Amino acid sequence: MNPKRLLCFVFLFALLGAFSSAALAQDTTLTMLTHWGTEDQLAAQQAIIDAYMAENPDVAIELVTVDFGELRTKIITGRTAGISADVYHFYHLWLPDFVNAGVLAEPTQDALSYINENVAQGTIDAVSTSDGQTWGYPTEVNPYQLVYNKRLLAEAGYDAPPANWDELKDMAAAITQVDDTGAITQLGFGVIAGWDSGIVHPFSSLLFSNGGNFLSEDRTVAEFNSPEGIETLQLYADMVASGGTDPSISGLGDFPSGTVGMVIMAPWWRATLRAAEGIDFDTEVGVAEIPVGPSGEAPSSIAYTWLFAVDSNSPNKPAAWDFIHWMNAEHEEGVGSAIGDFLVNGLGAIPSFDHDQAAFAESMSDHYVSAFVAASAYARPEQIVAGGQEIKTLLQVEIEAVLTGMTSPEDALASVEMQANAILEEQRMMAEE
């Protein structure tokens, strides 16, 4: 072949190869699955995605959202069907089960270094398995506190929220009102039946404030069936008996309407309360520490987190980790990350990264979020363990059975303890195989 012609062919193939590489790069598409699905949340997430794609025109990102109650199932069934997302945002309690099932890809060393340098160790532990492996970027710290309606407490004759359980029971009963038919028109203390976190996290916060534990320190046995745990569940039974609470009325749904006096909730509720028409956020919404139980010495609480992670089956792992990092990283000193801005100013949640807590300190200084920030200094992280979600669901069912008078606190906790220890033992044996 003529040398000049050969040179032309070489150049042509090189050019075609370059075009092919560019075409492949432009075809990189990531799917991100989250539970943030309200109109405002969708708009905020899309703005983050659009900004990333503007800086990275070779990557397209598709946002998929489902309700929180469907998220875990969506992740599991999606992988079974072979249509899993590249990027997940999920609740950290599911982490051990996802890791054991091979759902997640290990973060890059750059990602791990960034997390270790910019996140408190307690939060890192919350997104790590017992072997010390961190699996994603933690996004938020959510401790629980007592949220109360100042107006309803004042109308019942109280000028401060309850500091102990006796005061909690008295105030709850005093706030509750019924009409001529006996129907409740105003409730003292709201529970959140039908939602595992809405039941178990407030119970845990009260349990910890009564000096009790959920699991042992090594997470091998359940410890909620203790004198402190029985006292905690008896508190619920006592408030039902006095009329201070009623499981048929949702603290989550009815507190914003101004008809519930107190509820134990997390900081991300701020957006809902600010938009509520039945209660004035600035003058009527108060936040206080969890009341201390008879066996406790000081207020305590439980805190949980969420994380961004990558599916192990993703064909685009480097791009997925790059996108996650971009969302959570501070690109300009003192400005904060895109996710930090969304968490703080969109939801009222406390971001996990130190640079975001510093950048958005003023936004978290209002009377609502500042109380949760203070609680984050002493709140106990939710213990994550394989089978943890199953145990949590079992406990939710039994607590709700106590609320409806179907069982006693002693029988409820004994039943869950037996089942929980069987789950933990089974998981331990599987890990040793």
Quote the pLDDT of residue 430.
83
Residue 214: CA count within 13 A, CB half-sphere: 24
- For helices 227-242 and 409-432, the axis angle rounded to 10 degrees is 140
The closest of 331, 308, 398, 294 to 107, measured between CA atoms, is 308
Quote the pLDDT of residue 285.
98
Residue 236, H or E segment: helix 227-242
Local structure of 129: helix, strand or coil: coil
Quote the pLDDT of residue 5.
41
Lookup result for tokens 């003292």:
188
Equal fold, 24-138+306-380 vs 143-303+385-432: yes
Q: Is 234 exposed, middle or buried (0-12, 13-18, 19+ CB in 10 A)?
A: middle
Q: Chain-centre distance of CA 373, in angstroms?
A: 15
Quote the pLDDT of residue 25.
45
Quote the pLDDT of residue 64.
97
pLDDT along the chain (433 residues), means of 10: 39 33 60 96 97 96 96 94 95 97 97 97 94 96 97 98 98 97 96 96 98 96 98 98 96 96 96 95 98 98 98 97 98 96 94 97 96 96 96 98 98 98 92 76
Contact of 88 with 75, CB cutoff 8 Å: yes
Local structure of 159: helix, strand or coil: coil
Q: What is the residue extent of each domain of the chain?
A: 24-138+306-380, 143-303+385-432
Quote the pLDDT of residue 263.
98
Residues 24-138+306-380, CATH architecture: 3-Layer(aba) Sandwich (3.40)
The closest of 380, 146, 384 to 286, measured between CA atoms, is 146
Q: In angstroms, rounded to a whole number, what is the distance separating the alpha carbons of residues 348 and 334?
A: 19
Lookup result for tokens 């875990």:
72
Local structure of 285: helix, strand or coil: strand
Contact of 88 with 57, CB cutoff 8 Å: no
Quote the pLDDT of residue 432.
78
143-303+385-432: in CATH 3.30.1360.30? no
Bridge partners (DSSP) listed for residue 304:
142
Local structure of 255: helix, strand or coil: helix
Count of residues making up the chain: 433
